[in-house]
């Protein structure tokens, strides 16, 4: 009876006797596995990049803006505008469905002057908790605090681009700038939070909301004195804004006299909903690409079965001679089974290794250089799926031809030309 080492020796001698056929078969499987991993990795790169962009806005943030109220559902004429106010914010703070609420008043028509330069950046009147609700990484100095808000202090925190524009190459902490002629002391700066080429957030100048409303409140016909630009909040239940959004709609509907079920009356951005939508899109993409990959590997298995059947046909006389000399059907079965399994397994490992190396090179070359997109990364579930599929393919590709070879009768096999 042949030992396993003898059978493996026969397997490798058979493979080496047909080097080109073995190489092409293995190349096809490795290419299919590598393509599957790279395609799934590209999808995960897009997913990761979009998540990073959303994280740079803030976690679990919903933003409510001024909007208009239609007279009837789905109507887009005779719309009545309304402005968000401090009363809206106060009522929203009392909601148990919300864990954090912050308000902003923004203006882009104000003029900032320093000792070195002048510009017209976006002035943001904010509350101290803005830096907890939104992603605002302080780089130098400090952010605004409760005393600044309560005492209506004239202090400012500069976005990274605003700091470069107003103080090019010069220190700015403790220095003064004027905003429309009113002096403010710079107490801090924010690190860059630009997303790709969108440096809107880096151009901001942050001042206390109370100071903003005192000096630069919005003016115009039918605009309340305490008007705001946005109210931004986080739901009590992390990752689920359903109850929070419904509660906010009820508050705004009551305060501004309209039916909170009128969806057209709200202008808002729910980053939680956006994140879930992005995940669903990429889950569907991964499912599609994974299905394509499995089908591709299945076709590869069919190719290996065909090659193995051809091998059985070519080696019929050899099989007959070996069986006549005492080789058992089991040893013949094991030999052809191992040959099919080795072809698929080794090809899969090579495909995984090459694709992992390729994606590692892309990671080192492209990380941080493609806005909204991270380089492809090896996804372990896709590698596990590939290896599992290859194991199944290898078994199928080995068992059927092996059973055909083992079933040959020695006399009949020896008669064949």
Percentage of residues of the chain with pLDDT beyond 70: 81
Tell me the longest C-alpha to C-alpha distance in the chain: 107
Nearest Cα neighbor of 405 from 326, 298, 331 is 331
| Rounded-to-integer distance, Cα 86 and Cα 227, Å | 7
Tokens for 76?
């887009």
Tokens for 81?
């505008």
**Mean pLDDT score of the chain:** 82
Instruction: Report pLDDT digits (tens) over 291-339.
Output: 776 777 677 667 777 776 676 666 666 767 777 777 677 777 777 777 7
Cβ contacts of 250 within 8 Å, gap of 6 or more: 260
Give residue 402's pLDDT band: very low, low, confident or very high (50, 70, 90).
Answer: low
Tokens for 190?
């924010």
Alpha helices, DSSP H, located in 315-328: 316-324
Instruction: Report pLDDT digits (tens) over 388-399.
Output: 777 776 677 666
Q: What is the pLDDT of residue 231?
A: 96
Instruction: Report pLDDT digits (tens) over 88-133.
Output: 999 999 999 999 999 999 998 999 999 999 988 899 999 999 998 9
**Rounded mean pLDDT, 9-20:** 71
Pair 211, 239: CB distance under 8 Å: no
DSSP 335: H
| Rounded-to-integer distance, Cα 308 and Cα 313, Å | 9
Nearest Cα neighbor of 250 from 238, 259, 237, 241 is 259
Q: What is the pLDDT of residue 65?
A: 94
* Tally of CA atoms within 13 A in the half-sphere of 414 that contains its CB: 9
Nearest Cα neighbor of 187 from 216, 146, 158 is 158
**Rounded mean pLDDT, 3-23:** 70
DSSP letter for each residue of 110-165: --EE-SS-EE--EEEEE-TTHHHHTT--EEEE----HHHHHTT--EEEE-HHHHHH
How do strand 98-107 and strand 112-113 relate by DSSP bridges? unpaired
Q: 75-104 burial, b for 16+ CB within 10 Å, e for fewer?
A: eeeeeeebbbbbebbebbeebebbebbbbb
Nearest Cα neighbor of 193 from 159, 168, 157, 167 is 159
The answer, yes or no, to whether residue 268 has pLDDT greater than 90, is yes
Tokens for 391?
């194991």
Region for residue 177 given its phi and psi (left: phi exceeds 0; alpha: psi -120 to 50; beta: otherwise): beta
């Amino acid at each position: 009876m042949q030992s396993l080492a003898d059978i493996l020796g026969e397997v490798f001698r058979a493979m080496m006797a047909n080097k080109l056929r073995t190489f092409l078969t293995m190349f096809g499987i490795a290419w299919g596995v590598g393509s599957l991993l790279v395609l799934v990795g590209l999808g995960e790169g897009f997913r990761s990049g979009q998540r990073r962009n959303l994280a740079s806005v803030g976690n679990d943030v919903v933003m409510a803006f001024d909007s208009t109220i239609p007279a009837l559902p789905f109507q887009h004429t005779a719309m009545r505008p309304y402005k968000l106010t401090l009363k809206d914010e106060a009522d929203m703070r009392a909601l148990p469905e919300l864990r954090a609420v912050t308000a902003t008043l923004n203006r882009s028509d104000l003029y900032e002057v320093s000792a070195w330069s002048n510009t017209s950046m976006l002035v943001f009147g904010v509350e101290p908790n803005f830096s907890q609700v939104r992603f605002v990484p302080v780089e130098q100095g400090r952010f605004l605090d409760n005393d600044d808000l309560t005492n209506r202090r004239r202090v400012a925190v500069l976005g990274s681009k605003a700091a470069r524009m107003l103080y090019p190459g010069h220190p700015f902490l403790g220095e003064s700038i004027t905003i429309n002629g009113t002096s403010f002391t710079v107490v801090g700066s924010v690190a860059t939070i630009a997303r790709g080429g969108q440096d809107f957030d880096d151009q901001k100048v942050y001042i206390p909301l109370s100071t903003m409303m005192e000096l630069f409140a919005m003016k115009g016909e039918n605009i309340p004195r305490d008007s705001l630009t946005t109210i931004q909040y986080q739901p009590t239940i992390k990752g689920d804004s359903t109850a929070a959004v419904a509660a906010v709609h009820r508050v705004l509907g009551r305060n501004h006299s309209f039916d909170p079920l009128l969806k057209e009356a709200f202008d808002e951005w729910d980053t939680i909903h956006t994140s879930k939508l992005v995940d669903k899109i990429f889950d569907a993409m991964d499912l599609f690409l994974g299905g394509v990959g499995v089908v591709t590997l299945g076709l590869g298995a069919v190719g290996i079965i065909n090659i193995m059947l051809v091998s059985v046909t070519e080696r019929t006389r050899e099989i007959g001679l070996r069986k006549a000399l005492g080789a058992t059907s089991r040893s013949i079965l094991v030999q052809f089974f191992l040959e099919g399994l080795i072809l698929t397994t080794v090809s899969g490992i090579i495909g995984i290794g090459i694709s992992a190396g390729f994606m590692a090179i892309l990671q080192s070359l492209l990380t941080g250089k493609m806005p909204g997109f991270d380089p492809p990364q090896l996804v372990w579930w896709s590698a596990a799926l590939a290896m599992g599929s290859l194991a199944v393919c290898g078994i199928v590709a080995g068992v059927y031809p092996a059973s055909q070879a083992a079933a040959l009768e020695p006399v009949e096999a020896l008669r064949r030309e």
